[in-house]
Structure 1
C-alpha cells in the first residue's frame, strides 16, 4: 500500500486529506529516462538495450534502478471502453512485456503521461518521428490503474496539456494522486509519483503532500540543443526550496545532462556536484549503452552518490558568497559533524573560494576530503580554501564537531524519542523529527523572551503567522513577533503564544522526517516535549 501523507493529519485520524498518495521511498530516485537521448523515437529495442547497459555499465550496482519510458511510447488510441491501446509492432506483448523485461534485470519500470487530454507532442511538435499528443484527463482512474496492472513502479505526469487546456495544477495533480492511491489499493503496487509541472504554480508549496518529486523549472535541455551550463545553473537555482524537502519528497531540477554530447567531463562533475548537494533525483539522460569511461566514472562515483542519497534527505543551501559568483553550499549529512560542501565558481576566471566552519555549523578542527579527486586534503582549523576553475565546482566532505551554543539543548518528543531538527538555517525550513544527535540544527536555546532559537539568529516560527490546525512550524529570522513565542507548560506541551495551539508531531508520526505543525491541544503524547530551560 502507498504511504498516506497529510499536510496536517496530526491528531485526528479522520483528517487525512484528499490527494495523499506517495510511494514509500526514502531516498531521491535514481535511474535513467529515455527523453534526452531518444525523444519520441523509442520502442522495446531501445528500452531493452539501455536497461541492459544500466546493468553492464555498473550503474545499477551504483544505485540507478528506474528505467523510465518517456513521451512517444503511446499512439494515443483508445478502445471502445476508453482503455489505452498499444502498438504491438513497437511493443511486442504490450507494456506488461517491457516491464517484465526491466524487472528481470533487477530494475524498476517507469512510464509517462500528461495531466491534460493531450501531451507535449500535440502542443509542441519536435520534428521527431511523428507521435501524437497523449494525455490522461478524463481517464485518471482508468489509466493509472492500467499502469499499475502493467507493472510500472514510477509515473511521470507532464503539464503540456494541463497548461494549454487551462487546468488548475494543484487540483489536477491532487486528483491524479487520488487515482494512484486507488490503483495501489487494488493492485498492491505503489508507484513513485513525479509531478512535472515546471514550477510555474509553485509545486513546492503543495506537491510534498501528494507526490514524491516535483519539477521546479522548465526543461534542462530542449530537443536539438546542446547542454549548457547556464541552463544547469538556472535549474539548480530554481530548486532551492529546502523547507519543502524531506525523506521521500524532493525538489526536482530535471534530468541529468551529464554525458550528453557537448558537455565536458569537468562540466559533468560540476553538474553532478550541484544535484548531489541538493539531494535531487539522479535520473540520467545519456545513452548508457554508449558512454565514455569518464562519464561512467562520474555517474557511478560512490562518494557523490552517497551525498545525494544521504538518509537525512536534506537539501543543501548557500551559506556564503564572499564575492559575487563565488559561492559555498553546505548540506548536513547523517552522523555527527558531517557536511557535504560545494565550492561553486560562477565567474569567468579561476578563483580561490573559502569554506568557513562557522558557516557550516562546525567548530574547531575538521578533516576535508575532495570527492572527485578521491583524496584526503588534511585537517584544518576554522576554514578550508582552494582554487576553483572558472565555471566549475569542487565537491568536498567535511567532518568535524557540531557547534553548540552555550546553554542550548534539544527539543525531544515524548512519543517518538526523536528531536526537533531545523535541518538548515534558511528561512522557511520545515522543522522535522530526526534521530537525536549532537548537531547544531537540534540545539535550541530557550530565551527569556520565550523564543526558541537555533543557529544563532533563527527562531522556531509558526509559518506565515498561521493560527490554524496544520500550520507548518519552520525556522525564521528572529523578529520578536508572537508567532515566534512559545509557552512551556507543566504537562509537557509547548503552545504558541499567538495561536494557543500546541507543537505537534504530524499524524502522531514517530519516524525520521515527521513534520512539526500546530494543532489544537489534546493531551496526546505527540504533543509532549522536553525543552531547554530558560
Structure 2
C-alpha cells in the first residue's frame, strides 16, 4: 500500500491533466452543509435559520457564503413528467422561494443533493440522476442552485452503465457544460463525492472543481489523522482548476479537543480544501467560532495568487514518504502571495517541541533570514535565521506560520552551510566545506 501511494504521488506530479476550464470555483468554496449536524432532519425553516445565524455570527463577513442542502430534500418519486420534486411538507414553499430568500440575504443556496447522485438513488434512497442528467441540471438551475454535490451510491449494473467511474461522472459534467452554453449562465459548480475509490484526484479536474478523496469524516482525531495522511501523498492535484476535498469541517460536534479542532481547520484550509461547516450553529461555542473565523488562515485558503496546497517537506516520526494513518506528516510548507506558509502538526499524544532547518522547505532560500508571523497567535515573532523551533506544541496541536524574506542573514553566520544537502557544500574550487 505504501508503494502504491508513493507511485501515485510521483506519477501525478508528471501528468499533463486536461483541466476543465469552466470559469467557476477558482478558489475553494466556503459555506455550510446540513448533513453532519442534521442528516435527514432538514426543512426550509432550518435552512433560513442557519443562513440567518451565518450572518449574525459574522461567518458571512469572513467569506462563508454558501448554504449546502444535503440529502433527503426530495420526494421519493419523480413527477409524472420525470422531474425531481422537493418534499412537499418540509419544503412546502419550493426551492425557488428558498433560494430567493437566501440570495436576498447575500448568500447562495448551493445544491446539495446528497446531493444528487450519479446512480439510480441517493445514499439515503431518494431519486438519483442517472439517465436524467440533463433534465436534473436544468431543474437545479431553474431553482437557483449554483453548486452540485454528486454522490456515488446505487450504481447501475455493468450491462446497463457500461462506464468506468470517470465516465459516470462525465455524464453530469457534460450536462452542466451543455446547459451553460444553452442558457448563457455560469456553469453549476460540480463537486464529486466519489470517495477516492478510482483515484479521482488524477482525473477529477477533467470534469469538476473538487473531488472527495476519502470516505466520510468522523468527529475524532483518528479520522482526521487518516484523512491528512492520505491526502499528504496527493497534494499536487490541487490548484486553481480543481482541488482535493477533505470532507466537511467537524468542529464542535464532540470528539475533538480544542487543539485538535485547530489542527483540523488549519490542515483543511492550508491544503486548499473547500471549507463547509458541519456544526449546529445554534449551539456553536465562542472557541469554535473563533477557529472558523481566523481570517489569517482563511486568507491562505482563499489566496488569489497561489492556488496550490501545502505539502510535506519532512514526515517527522516516520521515515520520509512512509504512510502512517495515525501519525501523518508533521512538517509542511507551501507558497502564498505574501510568503512561505508553514504548518507544524504534532501527531503525538504528548506535547512536543518541533524544529526544522528553514531550507528543508523548498520555498525557503539559503543565506536569507525570515520574519515570522504566527497565524493563530496573530503575533510577529521576530526573525528566523537558519532554523525555527516551536516550543511545547500541544498533543495533536498545530502551529501555522507565514515566513517572509527579510534580507540576507547576518554576515559571518556559522556554519557556512546549513542546508539539507550539507554533504555537497563546497567552496568555489570544489573543496568540501562541511559543518
Q: Which residue pairs with 2:386 in the alignment? A: 382
Per the alignment, do residues 402 and 331 of structure 1 end up closer, same or farther by CA in structure 2, a change over 3 Å counting?
Answer: farther
Paired position in structure 2 for 1:290: 283
Residue aligning to 2:87: 87
For residues 84-125 of structure 1, the C-alpha deviation after alignment (integer angstroms, 9 at most, x for no partner) is 122232112211111111111101111110100011113xxx
TM-superposed CA distance for 1:290, in Å, is 2.4
SS in 1 for 2:291: helix
Q: Could you tell me how far apart the structure 2 residues matched to 1:249 and 1:344 are?
A: 25
Give the structure 2 partner of residue 190 of structure 1. 187
Distance change (3 Å), C-alpha of 1:390 and 1:164 = farther
Which residues in structure 2 correspond to 1:463-502 (within 5 Å)?
A: none
Q: 2:21, 2:358 → 1: CA distance?
A: 40
Q: Does 1:114 align with 2:117?
A: yes
Contact kept, 8 Å, 1:22 with 1:193, in 2: the verdict is no
Query: Secondary structure at 2:124's aligned position in 1?
Result: helix
Residue 155 (structure 1) aligned with residue 148 (structure 2): yes
Query: 1:40 is matched with which residue?
Result: 40
Q: Does 1:171 align with 2:163?
A: no
Aligned equivalent of 2:220: 228
- Partner deviation per Cα, 1:64-92 (whole Å, 9 max, x = no partner): 11100000111231122211122232112
Equivalent position SS for 1:362: coil
Gaps of 5+ in 1: 1-6, 10-16, 123-132, 222-226, 404-454, 457-534
Separation in structure 2 between the aligned mates of residue 185 and residue 289 of structure 1, nearest angstrom: 41
User: 1: distance between equivalents of 2:407 and 2:213?
Assistant: 32
Assess if the C-alpha contact under 8 Å between 1:40 and 1:72 holds in 2.
Answer: yes
CA-to-aligned-CA distance 1:154-199 (integer Å, 9 cap, x gap): 1100112238877631001111100111222233142111000000
**Structure 1, 391-400 or 193-202: larger mean CA deviation:** 391-400
TM normalised by structure 2 equals 0.81
Map of 1:391 onto structure 2: 396
**Higher normalized helix content (fraction of residues):** 2
- Displaced runs of 4+ in structure 1, greater than 4 A? 163-167
- CA apart distance, 1:22: 3.6
1:530 aligns to what?
none
Alpha-carbon offset, residue 262 of structure 1 = 2.9
**Structure 1 position 8, deviation (Å):** 7.4
**Does the 8 A contact of 2:343 with 2:399 survive in 1?**
yes
From the superposition, tell whether residues 90 and 257 of structure 1 become closer, same or farther in structure 2 (CA, over 3 Å): same
Q: Distance in 2 between matches of 1:264 and 1:294?
A: 11
CA contact (8 A) 1:340 1:396 kept: yes
Q: Structure 2: where are the runs of 5+ without partners? A: 1-14, 319-326, 409-419, 422-435
Query: Where does residue 351 of structure 2 map in the other structure?
Result: 350
User: Which residue of structure 1 aligns with residue 360 of structure 2?
Assistant: 359
